[in-house]
């Protein structure tokens, strides 16, 4: 094993639950867990400056190797002194390998044991990425935590396809480990296996045996019902080493974070809070509300009177509604600040609850009060997924 300044300390597992509090030590600072990472795929948290991200209380951000490789190019960022300096963020960074993004390209990519060939979604140019190159790129970018290249199957792929992708993910994880040269970055593996419990277990066991610095759970929340996401998370977590951080990729709604933490997850990332903010959907303790709704056009209170974010401290819901009506860019920004602060406050409350041995009560209270506005969408999605598997409810 490489001698590495990164480490994870498990502080406490909440009695009667899998929920845990800990801390990540990284070369750019300490990260209390559970933690949510806002997504800055292109090297920027959409609409926000690094100072604002810090003011919100967020301590670690995610950027994407695939996006930065295509634009501005890894060599440019290296020449500018690395990703931290380039984006003006001196806190910890995690770079995703881009596996998920490349596999989302569907017809634009071809996968072989060597690696994945794809056409850029920007200019159609052809590229080959291998596990070795992905590590080389992430070492050049210089993030604190880097991710192995994985193959991410679709949520409705057959057992055979998912098994092939899993086996390849395992081979690539080993190659990534061998390719690693820098001793100051933590390399995490990504568990795959789709929605097949036996494959999830096989993947978790195999990767756990390789002693990575941390373990991500990939390939979930891609269209399968929420119950399946949770079941797969539970199966996987049970087989991951207790003393290593567990990272549930692409999950970021308040209710999913709470459920994920109950399963023993330490890290989350998702573009959801920032993406839906730009569509006007705002988190509150009572659930998601859409500021575009005309009900807000004359509301003098902030959108969430319980919130301490800059937006809620400064502006009425009516003003925010007005900015969205006019498509003023400031509106997208104010909504982004609110949603990220909501998530960050939620993480703090959860961590306190875990440390006080009261997570289970916190979870029940939170979920009882919180309503998502897309229950119908969820039910439709579930029926569609069950049909794709020739199952019925």
Contact present, 269 and 249 (Cβ < 8 Å) = yes
Q: Please select the residue that binds its own copies; options are 54, 226, 275, 322, rule is CB under 8 A.
A: 322
Nearer to its own copies by Cβ, of 34 and 302: the residue is: 302
Q: In what order do the strands lie in the sheet with 29-33?
A: 7-13, 20-26, 29-33
CB of 323 to its own copies, least distance (A): 6
Residue 385 within binding range of its own copies, rule CB under 8 A: no
- Token representation of residue 372: 């998502």
For residue 269, what is the DSSP state?
A: E
Contact present, 204 and 241 (Cβ < 8 Å) = no
Residue 90 within binding range of its own copies, rule CB under 8 A: no
Residue 323 within binding range of its own copies, rule CB under 8 A: yes
Residue 333 within binding range of its own copies, rule CB under 8 A: yes
Interface with its own copies: number of residues (CB under 8 A): 40
Nearer to its own copies by Cβ, of 81 and 369: the residue is: 81
Nearer to its own copies by Cβ, of 150 and 304: the residue is: 304
Q: Please select the residue that binds its own copies; options are 120, 290, 316, 388, rule is CB under 8 A.
A: 316
CB of 258 to its own copies, least distance (A): 29
Residue 46 within binding range of its own copies, rule CB under 8 A: yes
* DSSP secondary structure letters along 81-138: T-HHHHHT--S-EEEE-SHHHHHTTGGGEEE-SS-EEEE-TTT--EEEE-HHHHHHHH
Residue 321 within binding range of its own copies, rule CB under 8 A: yes
Residue 301 within binding range of its own copies, rule CB under 8 A: no
CB-based contacts of 357, cutoff 8 Å, min separation 6: 14, 15
Q: Please select the residue that binds its own copies; options are 47, 95, 180, 229, rule is CB under 8 A.
A: 47
Q: List the one residue out of 161, 164, 137, 162 whose CA is nearest residue 149.
A: 137
Residue 338 within binding range of its own copies, rule CB under 8 A: no
Q: Which helix (H) or strand (E) holds 204?
A: helix 197-208
Contact present, 343 and 252 (Cβ < 8 Å) = yes
Integer Cα distance of 165 and 236 in angstroms? 17
269 a catalytic residue: yes
Site map (CB under 8 A) of its own copies, residues 4-43, x = contact: --------------------------------------xx
Stretch that binds its own copies, among 45-53, 126-134, 155-163, 193-201 (CB under 8 A): 45-53
Integer Cα distance of 192 and 207 in angstroms? 10
Nearer to its own copies by Cβ, of 322 and 382: the residue is: 322
> Alpha carbon of 274 to those of 283, 307, 334, 349: distances in Å?
11, 17, 10, 20
Residue 183 within binding range of its own copies, rule CB under 8 A: no
CB of 77 to its own copies, least distance (A): 9
- DSSP H stretches of helix in 293-390: 310-314, 317-325, 329-355, 359-369, 375-388
184 a catalytic residue: no
Binding site for its own copies (CB under 8 A): 42-50, 67, 71-72, 76, 79-81, 86-88, 297-298, 300, 310, 314-316, 318-319, 321-323, 325-326, 328-334
Catalytic positions, written as ranges: 96, 269
């Amino acid at each position: 094993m490489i001698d590495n300044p990164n480490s994870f300390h498990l502080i406490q597992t909440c009695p009667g639950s899998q929920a845990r509090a800990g801390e990540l030590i990284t070369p750019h600072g300490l990260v209390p867990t559970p933690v949510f990472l806002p997504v800055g795929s292109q090297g920027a948290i959409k609409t926000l400056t690094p100072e604002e991200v810090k003011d919100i209380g967020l301590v670690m951000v995610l950027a994407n190797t695939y996006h930065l490789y295509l634009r501005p190019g890894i060599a440019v960022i290296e020449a500018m002194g690395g990703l931290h300096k380039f984006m003006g963020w001196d806190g910890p960074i995690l770079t995703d390998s881009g596996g998920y993004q490349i596999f989302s390209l569907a017809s634009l990519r071809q996968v072989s044991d060597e690696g994945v060939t794809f056409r850029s979604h920007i200019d159609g140019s052809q590229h080959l990425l291998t596990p070795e190159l992905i590590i080389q790129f992430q070492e050049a970018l210089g993030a604190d935590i880097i991710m192995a290249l994985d193959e991410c199957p679709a949520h409705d792929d057959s057992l055979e396809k998912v098994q092939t992708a899993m086996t390849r993910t395992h081979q690539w994880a080993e190659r990534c480990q061998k390719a690693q040269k820098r001793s100051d970055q933590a390399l995490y593996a990504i568990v795959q296996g789709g929605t097949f419990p036996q494959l999830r277990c096989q993947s978790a066991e195999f990767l756990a045996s390789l002693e990575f610095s941390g373990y991500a759970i990939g390939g979930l929340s891609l269209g399968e019902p929420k119950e399946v996401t949770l079941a797969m998370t539970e199966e996987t977590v049970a087989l991951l080493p207790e003393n290593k951080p567990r990272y549930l990729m692409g999950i970021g709604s308040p209710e999913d974070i709470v459920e994920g933490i109950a399963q023993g997850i330490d890290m989350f990332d998702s573009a959801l809070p920032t993406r839906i903010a730009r569509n006007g959907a705002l988190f509150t303790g009572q659930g998601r509300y859409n500021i575009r709704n005309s009900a807000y056009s004359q509301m003098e209170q902030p959108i969430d009177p319980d919130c301490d974010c800059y937006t809620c401290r400064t502006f009425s819901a009516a003003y925010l509604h007005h900015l969205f009506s006019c498509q003023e860019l400031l509106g997208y920004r104010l909504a982004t600040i609110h949603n990220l602060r909501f998530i960050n406050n939620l993480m703090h409350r959860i961590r306190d609850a875990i440390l006080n041995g009261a997570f289970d009560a916190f979870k029940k209270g939170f979920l009882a009060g919180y309503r998502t506005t897309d229950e119908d969408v969820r039910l439709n999605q579930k029926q569609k997924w069950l049909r794709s598997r020739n199952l019925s409810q």
